[in-house]
Amino acid sequence: MLLLTLGTAAGGGVPQWNCACPGCSGARAHPDRRRTHDSLAVLGPDPSSWFLVNAGPDVADHLEAHTALRPGPGDERTPVVRVLLTDAELDHTIGLLRLREARNIEVHATAPVRQALRERLALDTTLTPYTTLSWHDLPQAGEKPTDVAGIEVSAVHLSTKRPRYAADAPEDSGWVVAVRLHDPVRGSTALYAPALAEWSEEFGEEAAAADCVFVDGTFWDDEEPRRLGISARTSTGMGHLPIEGPGGTAERLAPLPARCLYTHFNNTNPLVDPSAPEHGILADRGLEVAQDGMVIEL
Ligand SMILES: [Zn+2]
């Protein structure tokens, strides 16, 4: 399978339209530092049957930016779009509205995510006049996976964190998941976890068995959100394990045999500046910083 990193930023992107912090200002001055909302395209054995993991505000630009994802040849329109969701956050889901020109949108999500989108965001009611929205359950890892375009997909449950618009919804371990992608022909496996609230035993086992792991890189250290005044909570308190420090993900990922890449960077993360010394710290541990538009073959 081929993995194409369409976007690598947390909510708001880099730059965020209403922010002039050093990360956002730097991205305005240096367009190569711009990052769009995190999303992944997956191409299986049939390269014309690509699918997406998460569909955020940039989705149509993502599809237009890569030749393999464009319609054609001729007058044909892309008839079906398949989207897997890691959670119900607006920055991972509002792209579904922008895909309404498709004849059919196939959405694979866990039960609580599906309920939030149908009942709180009224996606069925809103989109039915434009397209057909088909919902599919994303099975838990260990259960029989779903075949999507030749790739076996399932979900590693990560946390009960609900989006703010569904804060009073029932707790469920499937609110935030890592998507597990397995190519049965090549025997390769990838994990995509743009929001990782805790390092569970199950996630550790899945990561240790994978060939490629994408992990939450929202914040560099636990105090970053408080130090920079964007939240009263720590990184962990906001549902994102930090990269560095005790309990951070870097020390967990470094011993793994997998190719490990960080994604979902907030504009406060020093890694949005390519000259930051933090890049060297990760490189010394064999860990990578994902960029928009990377292609990984597994
Ligand atoms: Zn900013």
Distance in Å, CA 20 to ligand 1 centroid:
5
Distance in Å, CA 242 to ligand 1 centroid:
18
Pick 8 or 68 by higher pLDDT: 8
Distance in Å, CA 92 to ligand 1 centroid:
19
Task: Specify the pLDDT at position 48.
Answer: 79
Distance in Å, CA 129 to ligand 1 centroid:
37
The residue among 66, 96, 91 whose CA lies nearest residue 81 is 96
Task: Specify the pLDDT at position 75.
Answer: 67
The residue among 239, 245, 247, 236 whose CA lies nearest residue 204 is 247
Distance in Å, CA 94 to ligand 1 centroid:
21
* Exposure string for 129-159, b = 16+ CB within 10 A, e = fewer: eebebebeebbbbeeebbebbebbbbbbbbb
CB 155 within 8 A of CB 144: no
Pair of tokens at residue 140:
């838990």
pLDDT band at 79 (very low <50, low <70, confident <90, very high): confident
pLDDT digits (tens, 9 = 90+) for 32-75: 999 999 999 999 888 778 999 999 999 999 999 999 999 877 76
Distance in Å, CA 25 to ligand 1 centroid:
7
Q: Which amino acid is at 156?
A: V
CA dihedral 102, 106, 111, 114 (to 10 degrees): 0
Q: Where are the beta strands (DSSP E) in the chain?
A: 2-7, 39-43, 51-53, 80-84, 104-109, 132-137, 146-148, 151-159, 176-183, 188-193, 212-216, 259-263, 288-289, 295-297
pLDDT band at 261 (very low <50, low <70, confident <90, very high): very high
Mean model confidence pLDDT for the chain: 96
CATH of the domain at 176: 3.60.15.10
Neighbours of ion ligand 1 (CB under 5 A): 19, 21, 24, 267
By percentage, how much of the chain surpasses pLDDT 70?
100
Range of the domain at 218: 2-297
By percentage, how much of the chain surpasses pLDDT 90?
92
Task: Specify the pLDDT at position 47.
Answer: 75
pLDDT digits (tens, 9 = 90+) for 212-246: 999 999 999 999 999 998 899 999 999 999 999 99
Distance in Å, CA 14 to ligand 1 centroid:
7
Distance in Å, CA 111 to ligand 1 centroid:
34
The residue among 99, 147, 262, 128 whose CA lies nearest residue 195 is 262
pLDDT digits (tens, 9 = 90+) for 91-140: 999 999 999 999 999 999 999 999 999 999 999 999 999 999 999 999 99
9 Cα distance to chain centroid: 9
Number of domains in the chain: 1
DSSP string, 66-115: -GGGS--STT----EEEEE-S---HHHHTHHHHTTTSSEEEEEE-HHHHH
SS3 225: helix
